[in-house]
Structure 1
Amino acid sequence: MSLPRTPSFRLDGKRALVAGASSGIGFGCAVALAEAGAHVMLSARSSGKLAEAVDAIRAEGFSAEALVLDIADVEATEAAIAAQPPFQVLVNSAGVARHGPAVETSPADFDAVFALNVRGAYFLTRAVARGLLAAGEVGSLINVSSQMAHVGGIDRAVYSATKHAVEGFTKSMAIEWGPKNIRVNTICPTFIRTPLTEQTFSNPERVRWIEEKIKLGRIGRVEDIMAAVTYLASDASSMVTGTALMVDGGWTAD
């Protein structure tokens, strides 16, 4: 009897772009892809922090370079991606949150969050897909979404709305590009300790709410996302598209 073989999780020979890669989840994703053998282009708005992130990855013997980019600037993003060889892997971890009661949401805050989390994410994903389509190559495009794309949350009406939108365009893009073997998925983390979430964790009431909702009884870590992104980027997930991979400790199981 011949045995089936587990598909490879390796990414040797693949080029990966990680947006929002200078810290937190994005940096963790970049490290994970580099560990799996990809050449990783780290992208973010801050050149200083980005250079530090690239240097740290290279110091471990992995392949990485930097691209200073603000994905909210759609025209500049499209030009930058078009100037590069195709990326077989995209991880979009760039995002912003301006939490507060819905009755206090300002139009400026609403527009700023949507400009990056939805508009920027949409056109970045499209730009990478265009490169793959033009070259006739296959790829895996991953948007870091949130458990808040599937539930609501205190003071998170705008943020939750943006992540619901990401889920919507991800599914539609997956349908459109599936025949070309370009897969599009999301990863939906629970609360992860990063610089972006420190304000939340400084509020004891919010921490109690989070700990009550996460069935595994602990706050998420960046490392919890790293294996998930490697799986979705690799051939191990070659039959997975148009879906959301929940890394939420059981939050949305209710």
Structure 2
Amino acid sequence: MEITFAGKRALVTGAGKGIGRDAVKALLKCGAEVIAVSRTQTDLDSLTAECPSITPVCVDLADWDSTGKALQDVGPVDLLVNNAAVATLQPFLEVTPQEFDKSFSANVKAALQVAQQIVAQGMKSRGSGGSIVNVSSQASQCALQDHAVYCATKGALDMLTKVMALELGPHKICVNSVNPTVVMTVMGRIGWSDPMKAGPMMSRIPLGKFAEVEDVVNAILFLLSEKSTMITGATLPVDGGFLAC
């Protein structure tokens, strides 16, 4: 199944590492013009060296005002990947208001702002439609130890996805989320390399493995493409069956 985004402009948040970085490369390969957003300049520098045609934007998306200023002139966007997120693990009884606010600002509020102010308003005014994919998690639908705030943010993101789909659908804008299990990014390999930690989680996955970055990126590309124009408001597990159990 060939997917092309020739003539399309895509914006990817959290583009410096992991899923976001590979999504940028995949979109470029499919012919899109890509705006890559990251809060880390060194990551953007290395990505630009690898992919000179991107438009890099360095901003902390948790800062509402700075985000609005940094992205106000990016121009029309046809495809959005809301990938930026933070994950600070704390037991429920130790959750702090600082970490709560930080996580919701980065994982939920930033996705709302970029989709609303930067992307969807333009899609609506142009009448051209478009596609938005929010990168969520299996943690939105299954409680995980020490993930109280992270689970809550991803649950909120899933419901935000559905409401966006409901309200933006009449403007020909599709909105979906992908919900991966543990993903073998560089950090994922470091964090889940211990068999004692990985074993219990992997034992709950019928396919018996964690997701590779390519698995998630392929799902994102499908949902952004014209191959999925009748799909909106969906939360697509990329989890090897974790949520089926």
Same fold (TM over 0.5): yes
1:235 and 2:226 correspond:
yes
Structure 1 contact 32–229 (Cα < 8 Å) conserved: no
Work out which of the residue numbers 223, 231, 242 in structure 2 matches 1:251: 242
Write the mapping of 1:46-85 to structure 2, written as runs, cut at 5 A. Answer: 46-58=40-52, 63-85=53-75
Give the deviation of 1:202 after TM superposition. 4.7
Q: CA RMSD in A?
A: 1.6
Write the mapping of 1:165-204 to structure 2, written as runs, cut at 5 A. Answer: 165-198=156-189, 200-204=191-195
Gaps of 5+ in 1: 1-5
Q: Deviations over 1:23-46 (max 9, x none)?
A: 101111111111111011111011
CA distance in 2, matches of 1:248, 1:102: 25
Q: Deviations over 1:86-127 (max 9, x none)?
A: 110000110000112111111111111111111111111112
Structure 2 contact 19–83 (Cα < 8 Å) conserved: yes
Write the mapping of 1:129-208 to structure 2, written as runs, cut at 5 A. Answer: 129-198=120-189, 200-208=191-199
CA distance in 2, matches of 1:196, 1:241: 30
Give the deviation of 1:164 after TM superposition. 0.3
Give the deviation of 1:57 after TM superposition. 2.6
Once the two structures are overlaid, the 10-residue window that deviates more, 196-205 or 233-242, is 196-205
Give the deviation of 1:205 after TM superposition. 3.1
1:115 and 2:109 correspond:
no
State the TM-score, normalized to the length of structure 1: 0.91
Structure 2 contact 132–175 (Cα < 8 Å) conserved: yes
* 2:36 corresponding residue in structure 1: 42
Q: Deviations over 1:195-237 (max 9, x none)?
A: 4435631544321122111211112111111211111111011
1:124 and 2:118 correspond:
no
Gaps of 5+ in 2: none
Aligned length: 244
**What is the one-letter code of the residue matched to 1:55?**
A
Work out which of the residue numbers 77, 80, 87 in structure 2 matches 1:97: 87
